[in-house]
Structure 1
Amino acid sequence: MVVEVVEKDFYFQSDWHRTVEEKQKDTEIFMGYVDGERELNVTIPINKWNKGYSDEKVQLQELNSRLLNVRINSLNLDFLVAAPASESEQVGPQPFIDVSPSGNLGISASDYSTINTWDTSNFSTLRSLEGHALDVEVARFFPSGLVVLSGGMDMTVRIWDVRDGGNARTMIGHKRRVTGLEFIDKGAEVLSIGADGSLNKWNCAVGKSVGQIVYEDSELTSLSWHEKDKVLLIASNKGRIRLVSAEFEELVSFDQDQGVSSAASDGTFIYAGLFNGSILTIDSRSKEVLSIYRTNRGRVHKIQIYGEGLLISFANGSVILYKREPQTLKPVCLFTGADLQPVYDFAVNEHLLYTAGKDHFVRKYRLPAL
């Protein structure tokens, strides 16, 4: 039997930390939540803020200048609210972001056809990677941290040397935009998916395709390689989720009626984020959907396993760390900053979270312990 859980909806002012820091007269902090069929708003005058606030509805405690503990009494709900430790406005929407394994370098969009490399300590630009003819859709650091893999609207997959900005390889084979990238082992071979429904394997040394399979009538939306089990997890806009071997043999397949925008697996369970904002938990052994966690946050843009939790970004600007519990998810921390603008991508390095979205900003947060 599938367990269905509807999230207890809550939201928080995106720039609350500035209101607390500036303490300007007559300003307020705003939050809200849904209790049954009632939407309740709470406004907190800044002159009543003293390292927190408490009334019969909510309790807020300031743990530090960027982190609050929040309790909503009627929902019996406790969670953290985290503001960015730092942020930087870029020249346009930010469809992708990644951080090198060392944690020193970041990449995001410079303009629609250029990749910006930057210092993670201060977001200062180090070099631009120029060569794509159209928008860059996705980019990732190789495991070495010195080379970048990218894919774009121009249907190419490219390899870059971040030290000199050189475009070392351009790999051609997709018939529509590239939507996802992944590495096998240390990156001697790489994988790409596209809106043409194709999955491609590339040999980086020669820049040639060494394997392709096309799934007709669907756009592939999510790709991840699981080194331990040597399997690929692939999802599509038509709702199909596949586990595929390195030789492209289909091992497991699931179908459901909503498009899947992102998926992740811990080897036993698959977590699928849907276009309608729901998150499915699927047992990959029994091929059964165990639970559906429904939210009102809009499309899931990215879902990633983080320890015993899940990090998920949504179309309404929410980025939430959930704890994985039997048959449900428990909100642990809401990361604020994006004011109702989609957060398209994020990257984790150690205990730091970097986000990128439609509002042109890249942001850095400290991740709390689960």
Structure 2
Amino acid sequence: MSAADRCSFQIQHDWLEATAHKEEKFWVNIKVKDMPTLYAYVYCHALQEDKSFPTSDERLQACLVEPDVLKVTYVPENFSCICYSSQKQFHPSKQLYSNVLDVTDGGLGLSTDRDGVLYVWETTGGMVRRRFEGHCLELTCARFFPSGLVILSGGLDMSCKIWSVELGECVRSFVGHRGSITGVGFVEVGKQVLSGSKDGTCRLWDVGQNVCIQEICKDDSPVTTMEAVYYSHLGRENDPMNGKIFAVGHSNGKFDCYDLQSTSKIAEMRLPYSVGVCEFLDDRKVLVSCEDQIRLFDLGKTDTPLWQCGYTGEVNSLKKWGTGFFAALSNGQVHYVGEHVGSLPDIQLLGPDHEPVYSVRVVDNIVFTSARDGIIRIYEFVHGPYLQLLVACYMPVMNSVTFVQGERKSKGSYYLVALMLAYKLGNHSTVHWKILHPVVIILESSFVNSNVSALSILTGVVVNNA
């Protein structure tokens, strides 16, 4: 059973503002499986030396992990939630609503408004660099080409368009679908593009010739989502379709994966309701949402999911990060689910006040979200996917840990690095349970030079790295 299935947290979205005014309070709701919801308050007027807050109910504990990171715990079950607030936010359009989002590692992002206008902005501060008009109805999807300087979009007007960020104009239009566009993707660097539609088909287009090459799949049920991923070891060399997996979800619950080179079906799954969104974790594992449920499938064995978890809102977006993923929900929550489902506290990105979060994107260690309020929110995880979450989980016990390196003793930073090493070497579950007690960590001098020969945690965990 996943963390979300056992216990779910709702925290006031502007809790950080409340802590800035020490006479205020903020609310926390905790729903435990088969039990009444706990409604409680956290009081900001008396922050303790250990960074904990007084609460209105002894079953709730709350403390600051970092100035903008909150940890709340449901004491009877010892279950916790780590809450992050956005470091930056901006509003590219004067209108509310932004259902489309994408970002590049070159510092550009895109979003839309209800009038079908596409905005390109700087990720550092939200300054709008381009404003594209051409779709006559609302956009449903848009993505940057791998180059980061060209955009592929699709909308309710049943067309797909290619935009040049450098030229500031539309350079291609693809017409042929008989229903609104629900997804777009690329083959290789973008010489060919893919589109999915509510007409039940997915089409492959040649960008240079501006024509449809093939209808890959045909179904009576509308396409609700599509995703294409590239794995070079799966196909033939010098083939533009080399290693491309193409996944399609339908409103009748069908979810199929195709080899794009042969257009043959390589896997099929059947869900009880309409397929929402999907995201590949690697060449074998794919996440699929179905209303408020997320399922993880192995393409080699699709009859039963590897695991599934449920949430209190419909899943609108999934995005891989590290060995886990982010899930954006219709109730305004964004959760991070780690590799070991249920072994870490619930991780939430806070911001919208019950406004649906439509999309989540990640560039390096920076997370971007878009919501119905039209605001782009930015969350920066300076330590990366592994260490950042361990920082949040174990910072409260930092003061009980001593580091020994030769004759030097210290507390703090080395502890987190040691945790990260133990986690990446496959001993995270053991560390998770034993690190709650005071420990002594012995680090060899070579550790500082990133050439670790041994790490001993004196609770019985010994990690050897040749």
Alignment of 1:159-308 (within 5 A): 159-228=162-231, 229=234, 230-246=244-260, 247-265=262-280, 266-275=282-291, 277-291=292-306, 293-308=308-323
CA apart distance, 1:242: 0.7
Identify the structure with the greater helix proportion.
Answer: 2
CA apart distance, 1:269: 2.3
Give the aligned length: 364
Which of the numbers 130, 134, 139 marks the counterpart of 1:131? 134
Find the counterpart in structure 1 of residue 81 from structure 2: 79
Q: Distance in 1 between matches of 2:364 and 2:200?
A: 34
Which of the numbers 338, 353, 363 marks the counterpart of 1:339? 353
CA apart distance, 1:116: 0.6
Find the counterpart in structure 2 of residue 39 from structure 1: 37
Which of the numbers 114, 126, 134 marks the counterpart of 2:117? 114
Find the counterpart in structure 1 of residue 370 from structure 2: 356
8 Å CA contact 1:7, 1:293 repeated in 2? no
Q: Distance in 2 between matches of 1:204 and 1:15?
A: 46
Q: Tell me, what secondary structure is at the counterpart of 1:324?
A: coil
CA apart distance, 1:291: 4.8
Q: Can you list the C-alpha shifts for 1:240-292, whole angstroms capped at 9, x where unaligned?
A: 111101142211111121211011222222221111x1111222112222355
Q: Distance in 2 between matches of 1:329 and 1:261?
A: 26
Residues 1:70 and 1:270: Cα distance change in structure 2 (over 3 Å):
same
> What TM-score, normalized to structure 1?
0.92
Larger radius of gyration: 2
8 Å CA contact 2:319, 2:361 repeated in 1? no
Q: Can you list the C-alpha shifts for 1:309-331, whole angstroms capped at 9, x where unaligned?
A: 121011111111111326x6855
CA apart distance, 1:80: 1.5
8 Å CA contact 1:101, 1:143 repeated in 2? no
CA apart distance, 1:4: 11
8 Å CA contact 1:113, 1:133 repeated in 2? yes
8 Å CA contact 1:195, 1:221 repeated in 2? yes
8 Å CA contact 1:347, 1:354 repeated in 2? yes
8 Å CA contact 2:44, 2:53 repeated in 1? no
Unaligned runs of 5+ in 1: none
8 Å CA contact 2:319, 2:362 repeated in 1? no
Which of the numbers 147, 155, 160 marks the counterpart of 1:157? 160
Identify the structure with the greater strand proportion.
Answer: 1
Q: Distance in 2 between matches of 1:330 and 1:185?
A: 36
Q: Can you list the C-alpha shifts for 1:21-42, whole angstroms capped at 9, x where unaligned?
A: 2x063x2111110133210012
CA apart distance, 1:305: 2.1
Q: Tell me, what secondary structure is at the counterpart of 1:281?
A: strand
Find the counterpart in structure 1 of residue 143 from structure 2: 140
Residues 1:237 and 1:15: Cα distance change in structure 2 (over 3 Å):
same
> What TM-score, normalized to structure 2?
0.74
Q: Bigger CA drift: 112-121 or 209-218? A: 209-218
8 Å CA contact 1:280, 1:289 repeated in 2? no
Q: Can you list the C-alpha shifts for 1:138-170, whole angstroms capped at 9, x where unaligned?
A: 111111111111001111111101123110001
Unaligned runs of 5+ in 2: 235-243, 387-466
8 Å CA contact 2:90, 2:375 repeated in 1? yes
Q: Tell me, what secondary structure is at the counterpart of 2:338?
A: strand
Q: Percent identity?
A: 23
Q: Distance in 2 between matches of 1:46 and 1:347?
A: 32
